[in-house]
């Protein structure tokens, strides 16, 4: 195993090379090793490569856990266990699909070629950032990895702060709940009429709005942040919203979504749309090059990107089998998503966006309705294609999963 400071060298041509050390990269390596114990694996990552559960980023504050404490297995231990060569803190500059090699630059700044027999792109996604006016626009932060969380926590400090969150989607709501539980004051700005508007039926969204309001979240709907300026007032920052309202804050966190990281693939003339386009075998438009995780646009999911844990786990198992010599088409099962908002636990099994139909609220008795809700997405033929459960109704996850048609 090579250390992060060791200049990369070209491995055997039969190597499996993985770019990215997130859940997608590490899980692919682990699943492949279960099937093939001898083929060399090389994993290249621009960060430390330490393994952690990315969903824990949005509940670390309430648990008073630092970024370092979220690491479950150090990168060196992962590499040793999986018998692979790790190049951490190493930037991939280019992919040569004809010559089947990548160009990498280590800490020494020297570019080295690394050959591959099969290449896996697990490059993840970047937070979407919208341009803002104002002299403090550059102070907006995003949290998408451990180093982001560490920087945010450093600015947050120990004393209660006021945090303005841009975005009331899944990540925005999770961070809002987490920060309030951590003792902070939270404002959330979103152009929609309610939280999680793209994911939840109206009734569930209104429940989420009320639940988070109940613990102290202040909502600013149907507007956006237009500018961010330094302030001489009680708070160091002042945000001006499109509706003219001004919000004073200590920190501003952008949580308006992710965009697949396709830069390397595009530069190598690999077909990309919203993500790196892959077929049912996770093959890209380039021979011997595959992709999965947040960077991939899955044919098996109706040409969608799926930035969630369960799709990654399913994709990694199928891809590992294909890489090990048994072509295995990816078939996604029903994959409900749990929204980590303790104020209102929520489970979502969203239908495909192109599925015609409507959300139907399930009739509950008065006592059950007080502690949660249930909605089914029903198509034109009366088939249940998705569901949403909130509060204590989330205990019915398995029940509704069995009655949902993919």
Which bin fits 257, alpha (ψ -120 to 50), beta or left (φ > 0)? left
Where along the chain do its domains lie? 16-126+258-323, 129-254, 345-402
129-254: in CATH 3.50.50.60: yes
Q: Report pLDDT for 13.
A: 53
Are 287 and 97 contacting, i.e. CB atoms less than 8 angstroms apart?
yes
pLDDT at 7: 44
Q: What is the pLDDT of residue 275?
A: 98
Given phi > 0 = left and psi -120 to 50 = alpha, else beta, which region is 287? beta
Contact 189, 217 (CB under 8 A): no
Range list of β-strands (E), 122-275: 125-127, 162-166, 185-190, 218-221, 225-230, 237-241, 246-249, 251-254, 258-260
Model pLDDT, residue 155: 95
- Same CATH topology for 129-254 and 345-402: the answer is no
- Answer yes or no: CATH 3.30.565.10 is held by domain 16-126+258-323: no
User: How far is Cα 227 from Cα 46, in angstroms, rounded to an integer?
Assistant: 32
Domain with residues 345-402, CATH architecture: 2-Layer Sandwich (3.30)
- Which residues are registered as beta bridge partners of 220? 189
Q: CB under 8 Å to 100, separation ≥6 — which residues?
A: 13, 115, 116, 117, 119, 288
Sequential pLDDT tens for the chain (406 residues): 343 434 444 444 579 999 999 999 999 999 999 999 999 999 999 999 999 999 999 999 999 999 999 999 999 999 999 999 999 999 999 999 999 999 999 777 788 899 999 999 999 999 999 999 999 999 999 999 999 999 999 999 999 999 999 999 999 999 999 999 999 999 999 999 999 999 999 999 999 999 999 999 999 999 999 999 999 989 999 999 999 999 999 999 999 999 999 999 999 999 999 999 999 999 999 999 999 999 999 999 999 999 999 999 999 999 999 999 999 999 999 999 999 999 999 999 999 888 999 999 999 888 888 889 999 999 999 999 999 999 999 999 999 999 999 8
């Amino acid at each position: 195993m090579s250390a992060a400071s060791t200049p990369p060298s070209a491995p055997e041509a039969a190597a499996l090379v993985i770019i990215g050390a997130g859940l997608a990269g590490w899980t692919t390596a682990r699943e492949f090793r279960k099937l093939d114990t001898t083929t060399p694996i090389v994993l290249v990552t621009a960060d430390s490569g330490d393994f952690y559960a990315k969903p824990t980023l949005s509940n670390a504050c309430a648990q008073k856990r630092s970024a370092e404490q979220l690491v479950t297995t150090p990168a060196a231990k992962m590499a040793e266990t999986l018998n692979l060569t790790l190049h951490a803190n190493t930037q991939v500059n280019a992919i040569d699909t004809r010559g089947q090699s990548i160009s990498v630059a280590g800490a020494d700044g020297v570019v080295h070629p690394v050959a591959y027999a099969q290449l896996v792109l697990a490059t993840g996604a970047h937070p979407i950032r919208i341009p803002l006016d104002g002299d403090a626009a550059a102070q907006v932060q995003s949290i998408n990895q451990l180093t982001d969380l560490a920087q945010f926590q450093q600015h947050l400090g120990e004393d209660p702060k006021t945090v303005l969150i841009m975005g009331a989607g899944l990540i925005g709501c999770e961070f809002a709940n987490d920060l309030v539980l951590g003792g902070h004051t939270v404002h959330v700005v979103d152009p929609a009429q309610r939280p999680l508007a793209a994911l939840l039926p109206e009734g569930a969204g209104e429940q989420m709005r009320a639940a988070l309001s109940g613990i102290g979240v202040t909502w600013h709907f149907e507007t956006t942040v237009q500018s961010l300026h330094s302030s001489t007032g009680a708070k160091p920052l002042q945000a001006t919203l499109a509706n003219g309202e001004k919000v004073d804050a200590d920190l501003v966190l952008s949580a308006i979504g992710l965009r697949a990281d396709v830069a390397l693939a595009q530069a190598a003339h690999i077909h990309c749309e919203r993500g790196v386009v892959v077929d049912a075998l996770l093959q890209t438009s380039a021979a011997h090059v595959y992709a999965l995780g947040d960077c991939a646009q899955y044919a098996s999911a109706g040409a969608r990107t799926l930035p969630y844990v369960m799709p990654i786990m399913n994709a990694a198992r199928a891809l590992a089998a294909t890489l090990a010599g048994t072509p295995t088409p990816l078939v996604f099962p029903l994959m409900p998503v749990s929204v980590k908002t303790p104020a209102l636990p929520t489970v979502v099994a969203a239908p495909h966006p192109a599925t015609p139909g409507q959300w139907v609220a399930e009739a509950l008795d008065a006592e059950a309705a007080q502690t949660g809700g249930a909605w089914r997405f029903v198509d034109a033929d009366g088939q249940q294609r998705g569901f949403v459960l909130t509060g204590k109704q989330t205990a019915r996850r398995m029940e509704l999963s069995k009655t949902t048609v993919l």
